[in-house]
Amino acid sequence: MARLWQGCACCEAQDLSPVARLGRRALLCGLAALPAVPSGTAHALPPGLPAAGLAQGGFVAGRIPPNARASLDGRALRVGPGGEVCFGFGRDHGPSAVLALTHPRAHPERHDLAIARRAWDVQNITGLPPAQVTPDAEALRRITAERERLAAARATDSARIDFAQGFLRPARGRTSGVFGSQRVLNGQPRQPHYGYDIAAPVGTPIVAAASGVVTLAADFFFFGRIIVVDHGHGVNTLYAHCSAVDVTEGETVAAGQRIGAIGATGRVTGPHLHFSLSWYQVWLDPAPVLPTV
């Protein structure tokens, strides 16, 4: 379903390559041919891990036996002192994944997971300055450096387990953008939206969705004033387009603590908070983990 929407158009900061965009469109066409997972399909997760996150863009967090080791599709997962573990699935993840558990004195477990396919909206965003849709060479150099800096912050692999306490809504306001929607900027197909947008007046407080450590506080071309907070095990939240940033890199913040204010900095068509959730470099849908309004 196509619709006209005004607000956040910043996610192009994550992928500027025309070749990559072409590859993504081909991937999306391929995914469209895959059968959707039937609603009655069993999700074979072990006790302590909720099945609600087994979908494209989904986040799974819970506990396994503390002395167990875990891996997802062969990638080792951190396990906290109380068995805390988490993982996620990208917007275009395929229909299956394998979770493996190894216990010191028990047979290894293999859990074949069915990942539900989702349908994504299309958002047509108009009225953007041409230089923000197709940046010049100097802007591209800046954007490339900012992408590398953001990737480094999102690669943080700390032993914190703040993610296990759940997440708060980072600001009050109306939902003006959702995760996963395909973006068409001034008529040109671009990067999907990898965040959850909350529209509110400039100056509306932004709070940390969970406790953690600030790994990035900067001013970016597309994202404007931006904050990234690490919550452990590769989980981090991002807050963009801020009018004010009230924290510094390396600072520890508490869940619900004010960290900034909503603004209209960077590539936007109105004041709002672009809020993102990710697991390492995998963008996830924040909406299912937030309290309902």
- Give pLDDT, residue 50: 93
Predicted confidence (pLDDT) per residue in 91-101, tens digit:
999 999 999 99
Please tell me the pTM assigned to this model. 0.84
- Give pLDDT, residue 172: 97
| Phi, psi (rounded to 5 degrees) for 278 | -145, 160
Domain range annotation of the chain? 51-114, 119-289
- Give pLDDT, residue 1: 35
SS3 60: strand
- Give pLDDT, residue 32: 31
Return the closest-CA partner of residue 82 out of 154, 11, 2, 165. Answer: 165
Predicted confidence (pLDDT) per residue in 149-205, tens digit:
999 999 999 999 999 999 999 999 999 999 998 877 777 777 888 999 999 999 999
Residues of the chain with pLDDT under 50: 1-7, 12, 15-43
SS3 192: coil
Return the closest-CA partner of residue 190 out of 141, 124, 137. Answer: 124
- Give pLDDT, residue 129: 67
CA–CA separation, 246 and 244 (whole Å) = 6
- Give pLDDT, residue 39: 37
Q: Structurally, what CATH architecture does the domain formed by 119-289 represent?
A: Distorted Sandwich (2.70)
